[in-house]
Amino acid sequence: MTFLMNPLGAEPGRPGDRSAFSFEAITQLPSAADGLGREGRRYGRTGIIHTPHGDIHTPAFIPVATQAAMKAVLPEQMREMGAQVLLSNAFHLFERPGEDILDQAGGLARFMNWDGPTYTDSGGFQVLSLGAGFKKTLAMDVTGMQSDEVIAEGKERLAFVDEDGVTFKSPLNGDQHRFSAEISMGIQHKIGADVMFAFDELTTLMNTRSYQEKSVERTFRWAKRCVAEHERLTAERTGKPYQALFGVVQGANYEDLRRKAAGHIASLDFDGVGIGGAIEKRLLGQTCAWICDEMPESRPRHVLGIAAVDDIFAGVENGGDTFDCVAPARCGRNGAVFTRDGRWNIKRAQFKNDFRPIEEDCDCYACTNYSRAYINHLLRAREFNGFTLATIHNERFFVRLLDEIRASIDGGYFDDYKKETLARFYANGSRG
């Protein structure tokens, strides 16, 4: 475990060497008549993110190991399926086992025996998921629904925002916790991921224009505090590898707010940018292009929470370098599997005696060793092995999709690959 035992840029008694993190662009998509950036720019590209724990070849899909674990799948299996990097949730790791435990273990990667780079989010997503109670923020139908007090049906508000930060009520035990820019940075430094995100406020698409304006300014003030605290902790916590800090661009569906927020993040000393917030599906590619118009191209761009096949293509074409989402694993545990011919539910009765693999040309462990009938049985019986096999297949689907997109950009056939892939995937009306 070379990377785990000897991360780059970590020397006893010295701050982490920032040069151990960098981005190297390789191939840029050519501009086009229908390009969404300035003067027809298409910001899609291939590249390499260099981190203290190894390289990430982009575009890349980042599976989500929320609590330092992929549900039902071991880190070794994630590596075997081609995953380059994992993302964990700072808020959940703060709740259990606690950031001090991860710090004592030598950081997130060593704690979960993952031989590669790691990301952590900041807790900003919990501002929405615990505040308004929505787990999904992409492609919301918000017609006629403008309210700053919106709450999902049957949910209790568990997060309250003020100028200094957010007060959370724990979904585990009801305890009250406080997150601010400084607290989030302190927690993430101890967790020790290669890439951290600045603490931000994630609004819903239902919030009013007035609230969105205030939120963008508040997130900018928090971003400045995050940068200052990150610099202080980097200098103070000697002997650790450098942790990159990404700023997060908010602004919902508003072009002027997205551009303004991107300018805010570009003005600060961040290592990269996170494209965050609630985005209507129809505006995903355009929103990425607005942000890339305002950002230096030397910084890697991460699109938060995206895993629909058409959204992946829109995000890549318009500048996304990395993508994360819980959907492949969550869908798999419920029987929904992704294939080149669409997304369908393997728990359906028609697969009870179907002894073919989930997908004939898939090279994942599940498809090379087990049948639809067996996985159907496991999931119907709620056997954990079923969760494992379905998750392995779905995660491999998205890892491979991004690998093939990367190859198509380098090879100069992205447009053809996009057209053929989307036509086949959605031919039968797939929701994925």
pLDDT tens-place string over residues 278-310: 889 999 999 999 999 999 999 999 999 998 999
pLDDT classification of 172: cutoffs 50, 70, 90: confident
The pLDDT score that the predictor gives to residue 128 is 61
58-68 average pLDDT score: 97
398 plus 318 within the same structural domain: no
pLDDT classification of 151: cutoffs 50, 70, 90: low
304-323 average pLDDT score: 96
For residue 17, is it within any domain? no
Annotated binding residue 124: yes
Distances (CA, A) of 283 to 254, 280, 287, 290, 316: 10, 5, 6, 10, 14
Residues paired with residue 89 on neighbouring β-strands, in sequence order: 121
The pLDDT score that the predictor gives to residue 196 is 98
Structure tokens at 365: 């462990």
Annotated binding residue 28: no
Contact 57, 406 (CB under 8 A): yes
The pLDDT score that the predictor gives to residue 134 is 53
Cis? peptide before 97, omega within 30° of 0: yes
Catalytic pick among 55, 103, 121, 415? 121
386 plus 270 within the same structural domain: no
37-64 average pLDDT score: 98
Catalytic pick among 194, 293, 321, 324? 324
Annotated binding residue 40: no
Please, what is the average pLDDT of the chain? 92
For residue 289, is it within any domain? yes
The pLDDT score that the predictor gives to residue 138 is 39
| DSSP conformational letter for 31 | P
Annotated binding residue 115: no
Among 306, 325, 344, the domain boundary falls at: 325
Entry pTM: 0.94
Distance between CA atoms of residues 307 and 327, nearest Å: 7
357-366 average pLDDT score: 98
Would you call 324 a catalytic residue per the annotation?
yes
Annotated binding residue 122: yes
Annotated binding residue 277: yes
DSSP for 336-405, please give it. Answer: EEEETTEEEETTSGGGTT--S-SSTT--SHHHHH--HHHHHHHHHTT-HHHHHHHHHHHHHHHHHHHHHH
Annotated binding residue 134: no
Among 325, 350, 379, the domain boundary falls at: 325
Annotated binding residue 410: no
Instruction: Look up the domain containing 345 and give its range.
Output: 327-424
The pLDDT score that the predictor gives to residue 430 is 76
Q: What is the pLDDT of residues 268-277, one digit of tens each?
A: 999 999 999 8
Q: Is 155 helix (H, G, I), strand (E, B) or coil?
A: coil
Among 325, 354, 376, the domain boundary falls at: 325
Distances (CA, A) of 262 to 107, 138, 217, 301: 30, 19, 12, 11
416 plus 307 within the same structural domain: no
For residue 11, is it within any domain? no
Number of domains comprising the chain: 2
